[in-house]
Amino acid sequence: MNIYKVGGAVRDRLLGRPVTEVDYVVVGATPDDMLSQGFRPVGADFPVFLHSATGEEYALARTERKSGRGYGGFTFYASPDVTLEQDLIRRDLTINAMAEDDDGQIIDPYGGQQDLDSRLLRHVSDAFAEDPLRVLRVARFAARYADLGFRVADETQALMRQLAESGELRDLTPERAWKEISRALLEPRPEVFIQVLHDCGALAELLPDVERLLVSGDGDHTLEVLRQSARSEQPLAVRWACLLLGLASAPAATDADASSDGGLVAIARINESTNPPRDCQELALLAGEFHGLAVRALALPAEALLGLLQRFDVYRRPERFEHFIAVCEMDARAHGSRRADAFAQAAYLRSAAQAVRSVQPRPLIEAGYQGAALGEAINQARLATLAEHRAAWPHPS
């Protein structure tokens, strides 16, 4: 039995980046050998085991063969006679197909170190084209390492395009697609992920409404909004809303969209096809609907401003309103302003939210209001507070 570090741990150490997760491949062992040493199996049909003390993953060396469509259409063969080189050749990129032994020696049969030096994301073998998920993974690595100068190799780009044209990307489940999309959005350069997918034709298959944005006159702005969200280290929900924000004002994609609120229909359609967490879905829809009002916040009458605040439920969910303000600010920065207060309306909106939250129902209850009358009295008190707030706020001349 021989055990090697593999994949990201080797790659990132060679790049001088922090190693946050270590995976191992085990050559020359059987499942019984692993069990006898105290390893815990991950699943009955997959040769991966967890170390009893560290919880790190140890996978038996294996080969794989395409047996159907999609990212799950593979059969695996794990046996003590599978070599390290056979295990490594099934991996996606050469920079992920290196191993390291206990002495720190690098085993690199497919040129991963040279591609690290050349800043290339290059596939290991033509078997790359058998797995549609690898298109998203390559784009995600491009987003992670863009600031180091990495680019997708031309021959790998060609295989990615071949996969996009095969139609197999449509076989990805929403859950699996979202897992890769969400991880990519949290990379340092998420706009590179979108651009790489666009360049190989995969974006049109996965997120056709976003593809429509990129080929429109608003494409560069959409990518810049997303880039600003990463620069500001915004959470996932903000980044997702930033990606979809431009759809709210984009031309309708279909006649059905044109007969309704097409932008919000498109955002809802993407939410349905990718199934993000609820907070991501809600923020994307709310940002698309109310961004224009937020831009005009200083000119809004008290009734419209209160409607905006109540739509976000600033009383019980203040964080969601903060995330909305962040989306608006990223859009403002993408329009060219690099100031910290690029979205000058932010302070006004925060102050307005605080003003309506300061209205307490207890004095009204003590004054005898109840039921529907109490609700109306609270509403009028909030409107009066906002009117005072608006009158006191300095307005630009």
| Residues recorded for the chain | 397
Please state the pTM of the whole predicted model.
Answer: 0.89
Structure tokens at 97: 């197909």
Region 314-343: mean pLDDT is 87
Residue 122 to residue 116: CA distance in whole angstroms: 10
Q: Quickly list DSSP for 138-198.
A: HHHHHHHHGGGT-EE-HHHHHHHHHHHHHTGGGGS-HHHHHHHHHHHHTSS-HHHHHHHHH
Residue 270 to residue 264: CA distance in whole angstroms: 10
CB proximity list for 229: less than 8 A, separation 6 or greater: 190, 238, 239, 242, 326, 327, 330
Three-state DSSP at 298 gives: helix
pLDDT digits (tens, 9 = 90+) for 255-273: 555 545 778 999 999 999 9
Region 299-320: mean pLDDT is 95
CA 320 to chain centre: 18
Provide the mean pLDDT of the chain. 90
CB proximity list for 175: less than 8 A, separation 6 or greater: 275
What domains, with CATH codes, occur in the chain?
A: 1-118 (3.30.460.10)
Structure tokens at 93: 């990129």
Lowest mean pLDDT among 43-52, 94-103, 299-308: 43-52
Percent of the chain with pLDDT over 70: 92
Residue 290 to residue 241: CA distance in whole angstroms: 12
pLDDT for 259 equals 47
CB proximity list for 359: less than 8 A, separation 6 or greater: 378, 381, 382, 385
